[in-house]
Chains A and B, each alone.
Chain A
Amino acid sequence: MHRAADSIESPGRRGFFVRLIQGTYAVIGATLAFVVGGAVVAPSFGRRQTMWLHAGDADALEEGTPLPITLRVARPDGPSEVVDRKIVYLVKMGNEVRALDSTCTHLGCRTRFNPDTHQIECPCHGGVYDVTGNVIGGPPPAPLRAMTTRVDAGKVMVQV
C-alpha cells in the first residue's frame, strides 16, 4: 500500500522530489508565459514611429493666415497598412512657421478656418480659436495641438 511506499523512502527524498516537480513546472510555465505573454502584450507598448513630412513651402504662406494642408501618413496596421489623412494648419508668424493640428481639443471634431472672422472655428459645439491656436471662446479645454516643425531651405517640414 502507499503507506508502505512512503515509509520506505526517506521523507527528505520525498521533499526534494516535490520541490523538483514544482520547480520544473514553474520553469516550463514561466517560459511559456514569457514567450506567449510577451508576444501578446508587446504591441500594447509599441510607440508610433514619427516621421517628417513636407507640408508646404514657406514662401507660399500668408503672414498670420492659417493654410489647411492635408498630410498623408502611411503606417503599418498590424499585418496590414493604412494611409491616414491628417489636416494641419500652417501659420506663418514672422520668421517662424507653426503647424497646428486641426482636431478640436474639446471632443475631436475637425475645425475649420473662417476667413471672414479670421478665426478657427469648430462646427460641433462652437469652440473658437485664434490663428495661433489659443482658445478664445466655447468649450475647448486647451489650445490646438502645435506640431513640431522646421523649415529646410524654404520647405516646411512637419513631424507626425
Chain B
Amino acid sequence: MKALFDWIDSRTSYRWLLHHLLYEELPTGTAWLFTTGSIVTLLILCQFVTGLGLTMYYVPSPRLAFDSVRFIMSDLPLGWMLRGLHYWGASFLVVATVVHMLRVFFLGSYKAPRELTWLSGLTMLLVILGFSLSGYLLPWDQKAYWATTVTINIARGTPLIGDAMANVLRGGVDLGALTLGRWYSAHVFLLPATLVLFIVVHIALMRKHGISGPIERQAGPSILFYPWHLIKDTVMMGAVFASLITAAALFPAHLDEIANPIDASYIPRPEWYFLSLFQMLKYFPGPLEPVATMVLPGLAIGFLAALPFVDRSGDRHPLRGPRRMFTAMMAVLGIGVVALTAIGMADRPPHKDRNDWGLLPIAGMQIATGEGNACVRCHENGGPAAPLAITRLSKDNEWLLSHMADPLIIAPGVRNPKDPSPPPVMSRFKAQAAVAYLKRVHAGDPLPTNVTDTVKLAAQTYAETCVVCHRISGEGGIVGPDLTLVGRRRAEKEIHSFIEDPEAMMGEPSVMPAFGKRLKPEQIDALATYLASRK
C-alpha cells in the first residue's frame, strides 16, 4: 500500500501539497472568530452536493417543473430531505456569508494587502444572492412565478436599458419556458462555475497573504492550522451542519400551488434576505423607484467595494481613529437592512393557508372524488386516461376548465360552429371547483378533516353561487367582501338574514341580491352555519 502511495506521490507530489495545505502557520490568537470562512465553505459544498441530487430529477420546463419538484417532495424516498437541505442551505449560506463579511470588516482584515481578497469575497456574496434569485423561480409555483415577475419588473425600472434588460432576463417579452431555461442554466452552470473560480482565487489570496489574525499582534509561538485551528473550524462546521439538518427535518420546504399566470391577485413576497429591498420599494413610489432598486443598493455595494481603498490607515480596530467613520457607515447599512427586513416581515399580506381549504376546493373534492363523479369514467386504471391520483397538472387553467366541460376536446376553442360542443358534462362553476381542489392536492396541502354534510352543502352552494363575488381563503371573486373571517364580524343569525334579503336586514339598498327565494332554506342554513364558524 505504501509503495502505491509512494508511486502516486512521486508522480504528483500530493504529500507536499497536503503538507502545504494543512501545516499553515497562523498568528497567535487566531481563534473562533476565524472559523466563519470554513462555515461558508461547508455550506457551499452542501449546496453543490444536494443540488447535484436535485438536478437528476428536476425538469426545467413549465410543463413539468412543478410536477418534478412535487415528485421529489412526495414520491422520491428522502427527496423531501434533499430539497429541504438545499432550501435551508440557501438561507444558511446567505447568513454565513454575511457573518463572514462582518467578521472581516470588524477585525479590519480587508486592509492592504488584502484588497483583492475582500473584493473576490464581495463578488461571491453577489453570486450567492444570484443563486438565491435564480433558484427561487425553479419550482414554478405561485410564489416562484410572481416573485420573479417582481424581480424582472424591478430590472425593467432601470433608466434607458430597463426594457432591454427585462427582455434578456425573460428571454422574450413573456415570463415562460425561455425564462425558466436560462435561469436554470445560470443556476446550475454559470453561477457554480463562477463561484468555484472565485473560491479558488479567494483561498489562494488568503494563503498568499496569510490569515490576518487578531487586531493586535500577540506575542507567542504561531499556531499550526492542523489540527490546532482546524479543530475549531470543525466544531463550528459540525454545529452548523447539525442545525441545518434539524431545520430541514423539522420545517420541510413546501410548495405553493402551481404557477398560474392568470391569477394576478397573488401577492408575491421574496425570500427573507431580499425583503429589505422589497420593503424599500414601498417608500419610493413612481419615478423615484430606481432610487430603491438601483441607487441605494448600488451605493451600498459601492461602499463595500471601495472600503479597502479608502480606509488606508494601518489601525485595524473598528472603534479607533479614522475607522470609526467606516464602522458608523457599516452600522447604518446594517441597521437599515435589519429594520427594513423586520418591517417587511411584520407587514405580512393575507396568504392562502395550506390548512384552510375554504369552500371551493371542498366542493371540488366532492366533484372529483365523491360518489358518481364524472372524472372516473376515463381517469381509471385501464381507462383512456391515467387515474387522477397520478395525473399531472401539466396544462393551463383554461385547458383544464374546457376539458372538464367537454372532456373530448384537447384544446380550448377547437370546436367550431359546424361541430358545436355537446351540453357540458360539468358546469364551469363545478370545473372551477374541481381545478381548485386538484391544485390544492397537487401542492401537497393536507386534506381537510371532518367535512360534515353541512360543510358539503355549504361548499356546493358556494361553488355555484357565492364564488362569483366572494372570496374565501384565497379563492373566489373580489367584487364583494372577503368572507375568510366573516364569523368575526357577524353572528350566524345576521349572516342568515343577510343572505335571505340584505336590503331588508340593512334597511338600505344593497348590491347583493336577495337569495331567500333562489336558494333552498337548508342551503342558507348550511352557509350561515359555516360562515359564522369562520373566525
A residues neighboring B (CB under 8 Å): 1-2, 4-6, 8-9, 14, 17-18, 20-21, 24-25, 27-28, 31-32, 34-36, 38-40, 42-43, 51-54, 71-76, 78-81, 83
> Which among A8, A9, A20, A81 is the interface contact of B390 at CB below 8 angstroms?
A81
Contact of A79 among B52, B64, B231 (CB under 8 A): B64
Q: Contact check, B67 vs A79: say whether CB atoms are below 8 A apart.
A: yes
Number of interface residues, chain B, beta carbon within 8 A: 50
| B42 partner residues in chain A, CB cutoff 8 A | 28
CA distance A3 to B375 in the complex (A): 78
21 contacts between A and B (CB under 8 A): A1-B25, A2-B221, A2-B224, A4-B221, A5-B221, A17-B230, A20-B231, A27-B238, A28-B238, A31-B241, A31-B245, A35-B82, A36-B49, A39-B76, A53-B382, A73-B382, A74-B383, A76-B390, A79-B57, A79-B70, A81-B386
From A24, A34, A36, A75, contact of B52 by CB (8 A): A36
Shortest distance between the CB of A37 and any CB in chain B (Å): 8
Cβ 8 A contact of B68, one of A2, A42, A72, A78: A78
Chain B residue at minimum C-beta to C-beta distance from A9: B228
* Chain A residues within an 8 Å CB radius of B75: 76
The 9 A-B residue pairs with the shortest CB-CB distance in the complex, in nearest-first order: A74-B386, A4-B221, A79-B68, A53-B382, A79-B71, A42-B77, A36-B53, A79-B67, A38-B78
Q: Are A36 and B221 in contact (CB under 8 A)?
A: no
A-side contacts of B72, CB under 8 Å:
39
Give chain A residues whose Cβ lies under 8 Å from the Cβ of B227: 14, 17-18, 21
B8 to A: closest C-beta gap in Å: 21
CA distance A69 to B3 in the complex (A): 67
Is B77's CB under 8 angstroms from A40's CB? no
Judge whether A1 and B383 touch: CB under 8 Å.
Answer: no
- Are A2 and B382 interface neighbours, CB within 8 A? no
A74 touches B237 (CB 8 A): no
The distance in angstroms between the C-alpha atoms of A1 and B25, with both chains bound, is: 8
Contact A36 B384 (CB under 8 A): no
- A80 neighbours in B (Cβ, 8 Å): 64, 67, 392, 394
B151 close to A (CB within 8 Å):
no
Q: Which residue of A lies closest to B28 (CB)?
A: A5
Q: Is B387's CB under 8 angstroms from A42's CB?
A: no
Residues in A neighbouring B52, C-beta threshold 8 A: 36
Indicate if the CB atoms of A78 and B231 lie closer than 8 Å.
no
Decide: A24 and B85 in contact? CB cutoff 8 A: no
Q: In the complex, how many angstroms separate the beta carbon of A126 from the nearest chain B beta carbon?
A: 33
Query: Most chain-A Cβ atoms within 10 A of its Cβ — which of B59, B245, B390?
Result: B390
**In the complex, per-residue mask of B354-395: 1 if CB is within 8 Å of any chain A CB, else 0:** 000000000000000000000000000111111100111010
